[in-house]
Amino acid sequence: MSPGNTFAAELRKAATLPASGVAAAVALLGSSLVTVLNSVSARVALDAGRAEPGSLTSPFELGYAAVPLGTVGAVVLGVTVMSSEYTANSADAGGGRQITATLAASPHRLRLLLAKALTVVLAVAATAAVTIPVCVLIARLVVGDAAPETVGPQEMLHRFLGAALYWTLTGLIAFAVTVFTRSGIVPLVLLTVNSSLVSFSLLLTNVTPLAHWLPDMAGRRLFGGLGTVEGGLDTVPGAIVMAVWTAGLLAVAAAVFARRDA
């Protein structure tokens, strides 16, 4: 069980798990759909000459606006890489769990967890590398020449990397939390709702400014340029705080995983 073999096996596991495909599809298709809706309504408004001043009309902004929602896909990827180990097989087939086979094949626990974390990073980064350009391309196709591009290539690259980093860190946080819970249900529901419908951390900022230091609030300026709430940390310090949260959670997850019975 060289580190390379363990990693290659984990990659293969993630690639052949239907849930990973669903997660990537949620990110890609969900974000694309939102982009189509946003772009079409922007195009209609532009053509009618009633685009409001300050509204998002540049193709990049329109495509990029759907990207924060794609975080849900990163959450699902992070969760399923771990929760699939603990899913019980059907009772007819003995009800066993994959973690038994995994640990028999790769008994070095820290190496295994590291291989899984790297798998999450690679899967999320690959999903981001496809999804974000696709969203921007869709917006460009729909809006066409109706609105000028106001975002320069340099800024586009920065914001693409920022979003990819935010997704990746969120995927790793979801992964670490699932190491604790073993079941995917709680982290999936909590983190999906937090990334899409209601941000609990955002609500908490009304109670205490300390909530700006929570990982998702700290990292939110990685989606540069998008309208977000005032206050809190700047982009770089925020990204560092989010990364520290991620590293801390992974370290605790590793300590727990190395010690506990399978």
Residues that bind another protein in the complex, under the rule CB under 8 A: 1-2, 5-6, 8-9, 12-13, 16-19, 84, 87, 89-90, 92-108, 259, 261-262
- Terminal-to-terminal C-alpha distance of the chain: 18
Cβ 99 to another protein shortest distance, Å: 8
Of the pair 96, 237, the CB lying nearest another protein is at 96
Of the pair 54, 95, the CB lying nearest another protein is at 95
Q: Determine phi and psi for 8, rounding to 5 degrees.
A: -60, -40
* Both structure tokens of 200: 């609990």
Cβ 4 to another protein shortest distance, Å: 9
Of the pair 104, 207, the CB lying nearest another protein is at 104
Of the pair 38, 106, the CB lying nearest another protein is at 106
Question: Tell me, what DSSP letter sits at residue 214?
Answer: S
Residue spans of beta strands (DSSP E) within the chain: none
Cβ 198 to another protein shortest distance, Å: 30
Cβ 86 to another protein shortest distance, Å: 10
**120: number of Cβ within 10 Å:** 25
Residues written for the chain: 262
Map tokens 């983190």 to a residue: 191
**135: number of Cβ within 10 Å:** 29
